[in-house]
Amino acid sequence: MSQLYQRVALIGLGLIASSMAHAMREKGLAGEIVGHARSAETRDTALEIGLVDAVYETAAEAVAGADLVVLCVPVGAMDKIAEEIATHLAPGATVTDVGSVKRAVIDAVGPHMPDGVHFIPGHPLAGTEQSGPRSGFATLFANRWWLFTPIEDTDSEALTRLKTLVEAMGANTDEMAPDHHDLVLSVVSHTPHLIAYTMVGVADHLRRVTHEEVIKYSATGFRDFTRIAASDPTMWRDVFLTNKEATLDILGRFTEELFMLQRAIRMGDGDMLHDYFTRTRAIRRGIIEAGQDTDAPDFGRGAPKKDA
């Protein structure tokens, strides 16, 4: 794959940005990769490991001359970052983001974008519970979906070029209306994360079960909850505050389903429980068939090494 962008500026140097940097370097997709992070420690680390060719103390300095700018900061920080970089963006540059919420990002970033700059909101559905510049790896986006929510009058050539980039990094691409994106993500990501945080919180507050027992005897279900709940707290705080309506809608529906299951358990309605679990099991099978996870009994974590 030939070079698609001459200079890429990554604003925020966490998991997604560092994975993009590794993937772009591996595929030769960018001539130069530069970055910005608020933390001096993060900036130093990014240079130390060769993640970027140059790192800047301010986002304004980082975007100068870039033909692609990727906003990899929490949703709550988008407005100030967009305001800071607006007058420093090169004419014809593309600005995209990787936020988990799209309507709030459009409202925060869009008004600051000058004429001649192509703002194309995006969201890679990929990640781990790790964060920071050392957490990235080139294959993070392999066979994962990268959604774009183009706004009115989006330049088709700029969108095609950006799609070509992320597809070259291994991702599948699709387009979606911003509000529909936020509803879909509240189902498949946001509410499940909130439930995971809640379940781990319940274990923390349940005094009849000790912390040692929770850790020592963690079965697969709780272990997976703790993995999800280990995600970046700043990012998820902003997600819930900026996708409030959709999350509360799905959370309300979840509560109704939970009450229904509580009644079935209380009444000993085994048939209802079996039918319900059979239907929901089909969702898991669909995810595996779509290539979005593995059917290995260890859920893709890798079998533990046996003693020699």
Q: Look at 41-50, 56-65, 174-183, 213-222 and tell me which has the smallest mean pLDDT.
A: 213-222
Residues 218 and 109 in one domain: no
pLDDT in tens, 84-135: 999 999 999 999 999 999 999 999 999 999 999 999 999 999 877 778 899 9
Above 50 in pLDDT, residue 300? no
**Residue 238 in domain:** yes
Percent of the chain, pLDDT > 70?
Answer: 90
- On whether the CB atoms of residues 6 and 31 are closer than 8 A, the answer is yes
Mean pLDDT of 219-248: 80
Out of 176, 192, 209, pick the residue that ends a domain: 176
Q: Cα Rg for the chain, rounded, in angstroms? A: 21
Per DSSP, the three-state class of 112 is helix
Q: What is the DSSP letter of 188?
A: I
CA separation for the pair 4, 11 (Å, rounded): 19
The pair of three-digit structure tokens given for residue 204, joined into one six-digit string: 């923390």
Residues 92 and 240 in one domain: no
Above 80 in pLDDT, residue 163? yes
Q: Which domain holds residue 226?
A: 180-267
Q: Look at 130-134, 169-173, 220-224, 256-260 and tell me which has the smallest mean pLDDT.
A: 220-224
Long-range contacts of residues 159-164, Cβ cutoff 8 Å, at least 24 apart: 159/118, 159/120, 161/4, 161/94, 162/68, 162/94, 162/96, 162/120, 162/122, 164/4
Query: Whole-model pTM above 0.85?
Result: no
**Residue 304 in domain:** no
Residues 52 and 121 in one domain: yes
Q: Look at 176-180, 213-217, 269-273 and tell me which has the smallest mean pLDDT.
A: 213-217
Residues 23 and 139 in one domain: yes
Most confident of the ranges 110-114, 129-133, 182-186, 208-212: 110-114
Mean pLDDT of 22-35: 96
pLDDT at 207: 62
Provide the domain count of the chain.
2
- What percent of the chain is helix, strand and coil (3-state, nearest 5)? 55, 15, 35
Q: What is the DSSP letter of 137?
A: -
Residues 37 and 167 in one domain: yes
pLDDT at 295: 64
pLDDT at 125: 92
pLDDT at 165: 98
Q: Look at 54-58, 140-144, 244-248 and tell me which has the smallest mean pLDDT.
A: 244-248
| Cα–Cα nearest to 235, from 98, 84, 85, 112 | 98
Above 70 in pLDDT, residue 304? no
Residues 132 and 209 in one domain: no
Residues 201 and 99 in one domain: no
